[in-house]
Amino acid sequence: MATVGEAADLGRVRRAHRPPRRGAFGILFAPVTLLMILFLAPMLIMVQMSLVRFPPDVDSGWTLEHYGSVFTNELNRTIALNTVFIATTAMTAMLLLAIPIAYFMVFKAGKLELLILLALVLADELAPVVKIYAWQVILGRQGVINFLIPGEPIEWLIYSRFAVILTLTTTYVTYTTIPIYAAMKAIDPAVFEASRDLGAGWWQQTKKVLLPLAAPGIFIAMILVYIPMLTDFVTSDILGGAGGGTYMMGQRVRDLILQDVDWGSGAALNFLLLSLSAVLALGSYRLAKLNRIEP
């Protein structure tokens, strides 16, 4: 048997060769520092650019004129209404598609569940610009739809709000479906059987059972989808019309900075959009924590 001294020496040797313990600070220090450098620093520069007079130099001074111009410009208000209308319509269309698809995958698909999930993921792997140009081919005057429908080409299919909304819907529908699918996976099918035993029809089951229990996934999907659509500009660039009805806030920020060289107003508008996105994200997060929806 080992003596007490030998046991103590063995314990000291083991402690000496034991890898040092790192707390939460040690584990998170590197990624948090990298995040601050790559994310927080550009945000601070953007805020600074929105508050200094143009051209920015040591003598330019500070001003709130850029924010004032953003709020008082009639064009910005029109573009904001266009953006909200397009994003809200596309978000509504995606929810109308995603909720039935997620329900079918979870409760009806059986062995096809994983195949459908894989198809959704693979559909999203295609580059967004490629998908936009694909819709241009489908919706164009000489496109697939107009080829299949006899008569004169349907003009409103392309370069219109319809084209932008349709393309945004199909582009982001995967990000809408998967969170809702994940939330529905946690629903016990027995609750639907119980509701049927109590006389609930399909609409009452949807309103009183399915939607309240899937609410966290629905609100998470809104965070993932609605906020990026507010700043999307590629879709409207390619499929939007020549008029102002499809001009969105993402395009406005880009044009202020690159075309008008108005860095202050562009930075101010960008910061306001970022703040609005943060408010929407926090609101959706709070709603996602609810376990029921009031009728």
Where exactly are the structural domains of the chain? 37-288
Residue 268 in contact with residue 72, Cβ under 8 Å? no
Alpha-carbon span 63 to 70, nearest angstrom: 13
Q: Identity (one letter) of the amino acid at 22?
A: R
What does pTM read for this prediction?
0.81
Alpha-carbon span 93 to 102, nearest angstrom: 14
Alpha-carbon span 75 to 30, nearest angstrom: 44
Rg (CA), the chain: 27
- Residue-by-residue pLDDT tens, the chain, 295 positions: 455 555 555 555 555 555 555 566 677 788 888 888 888 888 888 888 888 887 666 567 888 888 988 899 899 999 999 999 999 999 999 999 999 999 999 999 888 999 999 998 888 888 888 889 999 999 988 888 988 888 888 888 889 999 999 999 999 999 999 999 999 998 888 888 888 888 888 888 888 888 888 888 898 898 889 888 988 889 999 998 776 688 999 999 999 988 888 888 999 999 998 888 888 888 777 776 655 444 4
Residue 159 in contact with residue 240, Cβ under 8 Å? yes
Domain spanning 37-288: which superfamily?
Answer: MetI-like (1.10.3720.10)
Q: Is the bond preceding 55 in cis, omega lying within 30 degrees of 0?
A: yes
Residues in Cβ contact with 85 at an 8 Å cutoff, skipping those fewer than 6 apart: 161
Q: How many residues does the chain have?
A: 295
